[in-house]
């Protein structure tokens, strides 16, 4: 007979020591607590510091655009002679500032004409409401009329002037930021490398900055090209129909196309509403709505994905999430900056081992720029 029965042995069913499991669970909970705390404070900091951070973010993108033009010019080979860096920077700044000045000039000159045309637009709006009354009934027309009566066109004009002044102040601040960024471009890179070397991340800085610069330059360049084509074709339609302030609507079309997914929709709606107020017939309105809408649809679903898809490794769902997040935090400018900022975050996350799984989930196909070839 055996000395002990293994079935009845009390030591055989004794549970293992729960202390290591509890310690591991405590560490995991503490880690997630710290992560949530950092994320919450970061979001609050982005929201609270919007007036400082938004111009800085715009200045960074302008700086990237200038450096993209400058680097291309410096690489030009003219019989063994390459333009010096200072000349490339000067030409890059001139090109970007010329484009921004052209946009400001169009808005500035047409804002005065729009302010003068406000009384005639009010009369045309009354005629439009009368036509709507015949189409949808007097009750619905009265509701629409009461909504427009509450709009103070003078206040709208004053708000536009105030917004223009605020824009000018922000523009000057952005120019100041960009100037200092260009002046410290080389020095800043060396300082960051030395600062991160103390954490063992100095070797990652060079590839990470190169990837960010290449990705942003490619995205901004391709998006500018596509938006310019869309704006020029839309402008041709506006001029052919005789739409007032056609230049303004074309510039808005160019700018709104930088907002993913919904920007092109608003560009068509704004021009359609302007045509609805100006013209007495529905033919021009339908031409703009259907013609420009079809144009935006074809470019947005065929040309845009074919070109930007190679530059932006973001899933479609992530683009919508980024648009919603940055618009909530920074308003309309956040919508413009949503994709470039998220691309920067994706690249940074891909170079940090702890956040690499998050970068994989944000990416379009699960492949990152840091993956080995063929992975």
Q: What pLDDT digit, counting tens, does each position of 299-339 carry?
A: 877 777 777 766 677 788 888 888 899 999 988 888 888 88
Q: Return d(Cα 220, Cα 208) in angstroms, integer.
A: 18
Q: Are 111 and 164 in contact (CB under 8 A)?
A: yes
- Helices 50-74 & 202-241 angle (0-180, nearest 10): 90
**Across the chain, what does the average pLDDT equal?**
75
**Which residue range is the domain that position 134 belongs to?**
35-183
373 band by pLDDT with thresholds 50, 70 and 90: very low
**What is residue 240's predicted lDDT score, i.e. its pLDDT?**
92
User: What is the sign of the dihedral through the CA atoms of 127, 129, 132 and 138?
Assistant: negative
In a domain, 103, yes or no: yes
Q: How far apart are CA 44 and CA 59, in angstroms?
A: 22
Q: Does residue 129 sit within a domain?
A: yes
Please write the tens of the pLDDT for every residue from 223-275. 888 888 999 999 999 999 888 888 888 888 888 888 887 888 888 998 888 88
Closest CA relative to residue 337, chosen from 51, 41, 55: 55
Is residue 154 domain-resident? yes
The whole-number pLDDT of residue 148 equals: 52
Check pLDDT > 70 for residue 342: yes
**Which comes out higher in pLDDT, residue 219 or 167?**
219
Min mean pLDDT across 1-5, 22-26, 80-84, 358-362 is at 1-5
List, in sequence order, every residue forming a beta bridge with 78; answer none if it has no partner: 81
DSSP3 helix / strand / coil % (the chain, rounded to 5): 80, 0, 20
Percent of the chain topping pLDDT 70: 69
| Cβ-based burial of 315 (10 A; exposed 0-12, middle 13-18, buried ≥19) | middle
> Is 288 within the bounds of a domain?
no
Q: Does residue 49 belong to any structural domain of this protein?
A: yes
Q: Provide the number of structural domains found in the chain.
A: 1
Which residue is listed with tokens 């033009």?
69
DSSP 354: G
User: Largest Cα–Cα distance in the chain?
Assistant: 112
To the question of pTM greater than 0.75 for the whole model, the response is: no
- Per-residue pLDDT, 350: 81
The mean pLDDT value for 126-134 works out to 61
């Amino acid at each position: 007979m055996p000395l002990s029965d293994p079935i009845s042995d009390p030591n055989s069913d004794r549970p293992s020591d729960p202390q290591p499991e509890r310690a591991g669970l405590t560490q995991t909970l503490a880690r997630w607590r710290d992560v949530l705390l950092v994320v919450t404070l970061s979001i609050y900091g982005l929201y609270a510091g919007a007036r400082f951070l938004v111009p800085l973010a715009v200045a960074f993108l302008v700086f990237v655009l200038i450096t993209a033009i400058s680097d291309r010019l410096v690489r030009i080979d003219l019989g063994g002679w390459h333009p010096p860096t200072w000349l490339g920077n000067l030409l890059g700044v001139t090109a970007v500032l010329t484009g921004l000045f052209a946009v400001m000039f169009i808005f500035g000159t047409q804002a005065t004409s729009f302010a003068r045309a406000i009384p005639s637009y009010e009369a045309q709006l009354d005629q439009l409401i009368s036509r709507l009354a015949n189409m949808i009934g007097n009750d619905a027309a009265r509701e629409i009329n009461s909504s427009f009566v509450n709009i103070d066109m003078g206040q709208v004009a004053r708000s536009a002037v105030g917004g223009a002044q605020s824009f000018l102040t922000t523009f000057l601040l952005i120019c100041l930021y960009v100037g200092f960024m260009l002046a410290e471009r080389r020095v800043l890179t060396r300082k960051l490398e030395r600062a991160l070397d103390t954490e063992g991340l100095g070797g990652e800085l060079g590839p990470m900055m190169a990837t960010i610069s290449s990705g942003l330059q490619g995205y901004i360049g391709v998006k500018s090209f596509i938006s310019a084509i869309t704006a020029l074709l839309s402008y041709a339609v506006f001029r052919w129909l005789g739409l007032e302030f056609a230049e303004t609507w074309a510039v808005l079309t160019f700018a709104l196309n930088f907002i993913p997914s919904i920007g092109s929709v608003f560009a068509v709606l704004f021009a359609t509403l302007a045509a609805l107020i100006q013209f007495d017939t529905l033919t021009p309105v339908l031409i703009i709505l259907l013609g420009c809408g079809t144009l935006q649809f074809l470019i947005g679903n065929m040309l845009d994905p074919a070109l930007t898809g190679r530059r932006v490794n973001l899933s479609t769902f992530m683009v919508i999430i980024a648009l919603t997040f940055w618009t909530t935090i920074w308003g309309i400018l956040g919508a413009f900056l949503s994709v470039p900022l998220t691309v920067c975050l994706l690249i940074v996350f891909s170079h940090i081992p702890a956040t690499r799984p998050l970068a994989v989930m944000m990416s379009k196909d699960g492949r990152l720029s840091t993956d080995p070839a063929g992975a």
